[in-house]
Amino acid sequence: MATYNLALIGFGGVNRALAELVSRKNAALEKEVGLRLNIVAVSDLHYGSVVSPNGIDPRALTETRFSKGGFASLSGGRSDADNERVIKEAPADIVVEATFTDRVNGEPAITHCRWAIEAGRHVVTTNKGPVAFAARELKLLAAAHGVGLEYEGSVMSGTPVIRFAKRTLLGSGLNGFEGILNGTSNFILGKMEAGLTFDAALREAQELGLAEADPTADVEGHDVRLKVVILANELLGAEFSPRDVVCKGISHLTPAALSVAAGEGKRWKLIGSAKRDERGKIHASVEPRSIPLVHPLAGVNGATNAISFQTELLGSVTVTGPGAGRTETAYALISDIIAIHQANIGATKPCKEAA
Ligand SMILES: NC(=O)c1ccc[n+]([C@@H]2O[C@H](COP(=O)([O-])OP(=O)(O)OC[C@H]3O[C@@H](n4cnc5c(N)ncnc54)[C@H](OP(=O)(O)O)[C@@H]3O)[C@@H](O)[C@H]2O)c1
C-alpha cells in the first residue's frame, strides 16, 4: 500500500473538497486502489500556510472556521501564504495546484507547477492556466524530472474526458471534437429558449450561484476557449495558445433568434470545437451554433457539459456529465493521483510503503 503526501496550493472550494474526500474516502481508496492520502502542507493567499510533516488532520482543516491568516493557529502554521517554501520544502510527493485560473498568462500557477516539478514532486491541477499556456513546457520538464503531471479537472471537472480520449479512444482515429464546455452559458441559453431575455437569464444564473458577479469569462466564451486549447493541443497535437482560437460568446443572442431556431427544429448552443482537416491542419473555434435537434449535443440541458469526439472508426462518441462543482472537481484530482499511482507502480521513483 502506498501513501502519498500532498501539498495543497490554494484552499478554496476545490482543495477544501479534496481535504473532505481525504477524510471520507481514504479507507475506500486503500481498499480499491491500494493508496492512502496524507495532507502535509497547505498554502493559501487568504488563510496562510501550514506544514506538518506527520500530516494535518483533514477534518481539522475542513471543519474549523479559519479567519484570514487563520492557519497560524495550527501547529506548523503561519498567517501568510508561502507557496515557494511549501512547494519546495514540504515533504510532499504530490503538489495539488488549485489556485485561481489566470486567463491572460496562466501565472502564478505555471510557476507553482515549475517549482514543484523541479523539486521532484508530481503535480496534479484543476487550473486551466498552466495547461492552456504551458502544457508543452511543463510536460517536458516533468519528463526530465521523472514525475507525473495530470490535469483531468481542467476540462469538465471530474467527468472523464482527457484520459478517456487519450487512452480509451486510442487507435480510433480521433480527428475532432465539439463540446458544450460551460454550464453557465448552457443554463442561460436554456432559460432564453423558455422566453427570458439574456439579462434576465443571467440574473437567474447569478441568483443560483451558477454565474459569477462578473460573468464575462463564461458568457463571452473565454473559459471555453482555454478548454478548447487544452483539448486541441492534448488530443489533436495542435500547438495553440488561447489567442489563436476565434472566440464568440452568447451575449448578443436574442430570444427571437432562439425561437426562429426552434421553428426550424434547431437549438442554439455555445460550442467549443476543433477539427483536423484532410491536409492535417487543425481549426478551432468557440461560437454559438444553431444545431439540429438530432445532434448529440442538442439535448444537453441546464448546467451539464458534454463533448462529442469525432472518430474514424466509431463515428461520434459523446461523454456527458458535470463540468463544475467542488466535489466533482476534487474527484478529478483523485483520479489524477490514481493515474500517477498506477504509472508509478513498479517505477523507480519511490513512494512511501506502509506496513
Ligand atoms: N470550482 C469548480 O467547479 C472548478 C472546476 C474546474 C476547474 N476549476 C479550477 O480549479 C481552481 C480552483 O478552483 P476553486 O473553485 O477552488 O477556486 P476558489 O474557490 O476561488 O479558490 C482558490 C483559492 O486559491 C487562493 N489563491 C489564489 N491565488 C493564490 C496564490 N497565488 N497562492 C495561494 N493561494 C491562492 C484563493 O485565495 P483568495 O480567495 O484570497 O484569492 C482561494 O482561497 C481554479 O483554477 C478553477 O478555475 C474549478
State whether the beta carbon of 326 lies less than 6 angstroms from ligand 1. yes
Q: What percent of the chain has pLDDT over 70?
A: 97
What does the pLDDT look like over 84-126, one tens digit per residue?
Answer: 999 999 999 999 999 999 999 999 999 999 999 999 999 999 9
Task: Give the mean pLDDT of 328-334.
Answer: 98
Cα 126 to middle of ligand 1, angstroms:
9
Residue 102 CA to residue 196 CA, distance in Å, equals: 31
Comparing 354 with 173, which gets the higher pLDDT? 173
| Residue 74 reports pLDDT greater than 50 | yes
- What is the amino acid identity at position 96? V
Question: How far are the Cα atoms of 79, 184, 300 from residue 208, in angstroms, in the given order?
Answer: 33, 10, 19
Task: Give the mean pLDDT of 312-323.
Answer: 98
What does the pLDDT look like over 188-207, one tens digit per residue?
Answer: 999 999 999 999 999 999 99
pLDDT band for position 352 (cuts 50, 70, 90) = low
Compute how many other C-beta atoms are within 10 angstroms of the C-beta atom of residue 52. Answer: 18
Cβ atoms of 314 and 174 within 8 Å: the answer is no
Element spanning 124, H or E:
strand 122-125
| Lookup: cell for 24 | 471520507
Residue 4 CA to residue 334 CA, distance in Å, equals: 11
pLDDT band for position 344 (cuts 50, 70, 90) = confident
State whether the beta carbon of 14 lies less than 6 angstroms from ligand 1. yes
Q: What is the DSSP string of 245-284?
A: SEE--STT--HHHHHHHHHTTEEEEEEEEEEE-TTS-EEE
What does the pLDDT look like over 30-44, one tens digit per residue?
Answer: 999 999 999 999 999
Cα 13 to middle of ligand 1, angstroms:
7
Closest among 284, 297, 343 to 323, alpha carbons compared: 297
What average pLDDT does the structure give for the chain? 96
Task: Give the mean pLDDT of 163-168.
Answer: 97
Cα 200 to middle of ligand 1, angstroms:
28
| Residue 147 reports pLDDT greater than 70 | yes
Predicted local confidence at residue 355, as pLDDT: 39
pLDDT band for position 348 (cuts 50, 70, 90) = very low
Cβ atoms of 55 and 74 within 8 Å: the answer is no
Closest among 38, 13, 273 to 127, alpha carbons compared: 13
Closest among 260, 331, 266 to 294, alpha carbons compared: 266
For residue 287, what are the β-bridge partners? 271
Cβ atoms of 334 and 25 within 8 Å: the answer is yes
Residue 253 CA to residue 262 CA, distance in Å, equals: 14
State whether the beta carbon of 152 lies less than 6 angstroms from ligand 1. no
> Which residue among 128, 191, 227, 266 is the active-site one?
227
